[in-house]
Amino acid sequence: MKKLSSIIAGGLAIGLTISAQAGTLEDVKKRGTLSCGVSTGLAGFSQKDEKGVWSGLDVDVCRSVAAAVLGDASKVQYKPLTAKERFTALQSGEIDILSRNTTWTHTRDTSLGLNFAGVIYYDGTGFMVSKKLGVKSATELDGANACIQAGTSTELAIADYFRENKMNYKAVTFDTSDQTRTGFESGRCDFLVSDQSQLYALRIGLKDPSAAVVLPEVISKEPLGPVVRQNDDVWFNIVKWVVNASIEGEFQNVTSANAKDLRKNGNPGQKRLLGSEGDLGEKLGLSADWAYQAITQVGNYSESFERNVGQDSPLKISRGLNAQWNKGGILYSPAMR
């Protein structure tokens, strides 16, 4: 009898244990590394080179956060995730931050227990077709097969577009964006549909990039940004303001090269950002040089953009919407004060 009751008590104890909602900041500091969810390989956003070093616009968010929190941009542990795996990995606490060209949508923000910490790339769904089809516009794609990555907002955007235009299509879905490219190349589908930035990245991966064209239509809004777990406002604020610091850095003309100098001799705005004036870092629970570390080690938004997807990269994407608000784009950091 005694044995049985102790078993029951034990069982209840296991069942009733409530998983503590620990602060991600403390976890990261204790661990000494930032666990960051990235894509399985997407040129310009998150890709691994031959030496196993990750780079890309999404990767730079993780590196900036690591630099701001731990003082070292290299202290990041990357977890490559497919589109289908990404949210579960974040919800379960396997990663601290999801930076994987993820579209900020209402449903994801409200029902997954997650928070979007800003936008690092304003994107839109576009089409890539083989040149020999002679298609000039997406409206000519009635009855065609589409290669799509499963579990993305693209799946929904294209369904809306074809319904709106009273056209039919067949969705051939794959797990990774590499597979969609292979499917497109082999002719399993007539066109590949994805975020425009990805189309450019996938196109340079084709055997003959000049054989494919990206159509002019952009059929949806796809603001991409990093995601964190809900109910951890300290961590949410950190990621949000690290993203803002990178954008504000460009606006204030603070670069990785001149940050050291501006920290001493800059204007008040630059000094506040770099931590030689005010207590912005302290308010985030970080050291005063949080943004200084992020900008010197990773660079401001413009440096990161040009290096990964812009003119210094094979993708050669122009700034477009992703320019500062005073230069024809819509990038705008809230006030750093």
Longest CA–CA span in the chain (Å) reads: 81
Give the one residue of 6, 8, 283, 328 binding another protein; rule: CB under 8 A: 8
| Contact window for another protein (CB under 8 A) among 36-44, 159-167, 286-294, 315-323 | 159-167
Coil vs helix vs strand at 191: strand
- Distance, CA of 256 to CA of 259 (rounded, Å): 6
| Contact window for another protein (CB under 8 A) among 42-50, 224-232, 249-257, 286-294 | 224-232
- Distance, CA of 320 to CA of 222 (rounded, Å): 14
Which letter, b or e, does each residue of 57-86 get, where b requires 16 or more Cβ atoms within 10 Å of its Cβ?
A: bbbbbbbbbbbbbbeebebbebbbbbbebb
Give the one residue of 6, 137, 139, 231 binding another protein; rule: CB under 8 A: 231
Determine if 159 is a binding residue for another protein (CB under 8 A).
yes
The minimum distance between CB 150 and another protein, in angstroms, equals 5
Q: Distances in Å between the alpha carbon of 103 and those of 32, 129, 229, 292?
A: 29, 23, 15, 28
Chain residues 76-95 in contact with another protein, contact rule CB under 8 A: 83-84, 87-88, 91
Give the one residue of 51, 143, 207, 326 binding another protein; rule: CB under 8 A: 143
Which residues, in sequence order, are CB contacts of 16 under 8 Å at separation 6+? none
Tokens matching residue 130: 């083989």
Give the one residue of 49, 50, 111, 337 binding another protein; rule: CB under 8 A: 111
- Interface residues with another protein (CB under 8 A) are 4, 7-8, 11-12, 15-19, 21, 83-84, 87-88, 91, 107-108, 110-113, 133, 141-145, 150-152, 155-156, 158-160, 162-163, 169-175, 179, 182-183, 186-188, 190, 229-231
